[in-house]
Structure 1
């Protein structure tokens, strides 16, 4: 099977983009999962956090499906959506679009560069639900906002929400981020357990100062990643609910892959979040993959020149973060 693809990243969260809109590819559900497991393997030549399949939509400008490295499908991916938004907007030669995702059609648009020469897109993160049944989280209560889960920790307060991916978020101190606590909690809730039958993304959030936070995420189906777009969006919302940041104002969200910006919009008890950040292409490639054997070869590859500008953003973000985390 011959496939053309682009490798790109949002905040260091890297993906392989496969265009089913202008190519004649057709994949079964099993083939999508197998492709993700084969191509995203970090021990192989490509390696990625997941595959973004870009497809035709019968009512939107395009459709995105996200398959994690373990072959599971995610309902949304904020960092991936920025890459898909760029591809579809450039393909259609327009600055804004509507992308169909599993749960909702989302508005996306090109924005002024977040850093010189770093291509930047804004994507809508929605719907937001605090109902535990939407994660699901099996507790004898309808919602969990800034409360303890005794089975997990006696020291942390958690907030659970779906955006629409399931997230469990704790606001922590530097020492807790640097400990093994997040790894232990995350592994517990992402193997067979009574609380989260489908697993959950776990984020530790450190408030740096007004308008600046750091987010570290263990992603369901992936593990620790440089960044998770829906987690950064959900984490920003949680800091606003706790009075650490303001609704309707830009929050800089630092991560191990760089930084993004989030704006949380509130309408009564309804929320949606704007996620603004890079959509950086690394290279284009053509591959020949044999699904039966799980073997592929790269038949052509062209490196692009966009990463150098992003690394400057990343360097400045890391310098800020190193200084801020000392406090």
Structure 2
């Protein structure tokens, strides 16, 4: 079948987007594998299908490049919001809801000259209970705990933002860090992380700024990860490194994360959403 798609990115975290209200893909997982290939197809950090919601106004169905389902993508949901507003699905409303694997997120888009340029997302409460993340850890919460990946020791804080994250703060600049070695080792440590994990390695610049790189579960390194930025900011605040509003600097751009420090309060993420190109592909 021939399929129209939109290529969008949030801070360089790029996905292939398909309007599921116009197209039905017989095997979504297989399509994700094909379309994500940067050499033989469109290429991206995964496939996101935009559908009508059952629990919310709309639904985001996300797949990683290996064909596995993803629970949440902070950069992806901003791009979904842009598509929905720009294509007229929201009927001009700048506030609406999007669900992903049952989790409902409240979105407010920033519109300039009739088009969305950025979005503010209520990402929900951070999950800190170890068994709910999940991470195999004896205590109730895994905050600033020693861990060894490959041949190096780190202090790790674990947070779920609808998907599991392990955040390690490092002394060197993240661009000088061997992310593939340590990130891959962490992501695939199923003894510690039964559902695998997204691994963030971050350097605190000051109380309002963090530099970070991420090795995403099922994907590898991406230029940005919205949930990872949220988890990193939450981890920095929990450890007393940063204030309640943090700019996380990623390879693809910046995301602003706000959290009160109270685990009953939501994490708020603000960042860009942009079109790259549109096209038609055969699957």
TM-score normalised to structure 1 length? 0.79
Greater per-residue helix proportion: 1
- For residues 51-200 of structure 1, the aligned pairs below 5 Å read 51-90=47-86, 91=88, 92=90, 93-111=92-110, 119-150=117-148, 155-174=153-172, 178-180=176-178, 182-191=179-188, 193-200=190-197
Tell me, yes or no, if structure 1 residue 42 matches structure 2 residue 41: no
- Supply the RMSD in Å over aligned alpha carbons: 2.1
> Shift of residue 274 of structure 1?
1.3
Query: What are the superposed Cα offsets for residues 11-54 of structure 1, whole Å, 9 maximum, x if unpaired?
Result: 10001111112x1x2234xx111001001012124100011111
Tell me, yes or no, if structure 1 residue 27 matches structure 2 residue 25: yes
SS at match of 1:188: helix
Tell me, in whole angstroms, the C-alpha distance in 1 between the residues paired with 2:9 and 2:275: 7
**99-108 or 62-71, which deviates more:** 99-108
> Shift of residue 111 of structure 1?
2.5
Given candidates 234, 254, 267, the residue that maps to 1:273 is: 267
1:233 aligns with 230
Tell me, in whole angstroms, the C-alpha distance in 2 between the residues paired with 1:257 and 1:168: 20
Tell me, in whole angstroms, the C-alpha distance in 1 between the residues paired with 2:201 and 2:189: 22
> Shift of residue 279 of structure 1?
0.6
Mapped contact 1:132–1:160 kept (Cα < 8 A):
yes
Structure 1 unaligned regions, length at least 5: 290-327
Mapped contact 1:89–1:97 kept (Cα < 8 A):
no
Given candidates 194, 200, 203, the residue that maps to 1:206 is: 203
TM-score normalised to structure 2 length? 0.91
> Shift of residue 188 of structure 1?
2.0
> Shift of residue 193 of structure 1?
3.7
1:14 aligns with 14
SS at match of 1:145: coil
**31-40 or 82-91, which deviates more:** 82-91
1:216 aligns with 213
Tell me, in whole angstroms, the C-alpha distance in 1 between the residues paired with 2:177 and 2:249: 19
Tell me, in whole angstroms, the C-alpha distance in 2 between the residues paired with 1:176 and 1:78: 21
Tell me, in whole angstroms, the C-alpha distance in 1 between the residues paired with 2:258 and 2:148: 32
**228-237 or 168-177, which deviates more:** 168-177
Tell me, in whole angstroms, the C-alpha distance in 1 between the residues paired with 2:213 and 2:174: 11
Tell me, in whole angstroms, the C-alpha distance in 1 between the residues paired with 2:65 and 2:235: 28
Query: What are the superposed Cα offsets for residues 99-156 of structure 1, whole Å, 9 maximum, x if unpaired?
Result: 111142110011377xxx9811111212421122223212223221011125667642
Mapped contact 1:3–1:286 kept (Cα < 8 A):
yes
Tell me, in whole angstroms, the C-alpha distance in 2 between the residues paired with 1:198 and 1:58: 26
Tell me, in whole angstroms, the C-alpha distance in 2 between the residues paired with 1:17 and 1:87: 9
Given candidates 247, 259, 262, the residue that maps to 1:252 is: 247
Structure 2 unaligned regions, length at least 5: none
Tell me, in whole angstroms, the C-alpha distance in 2 between the residues paired with 1:209 and 1:175: 13
- Against the structure 1 CA distance between its residues 162 and 152, is the aligned structure 2 distance closer, same or farther, given a 3 Å change threshold? farther
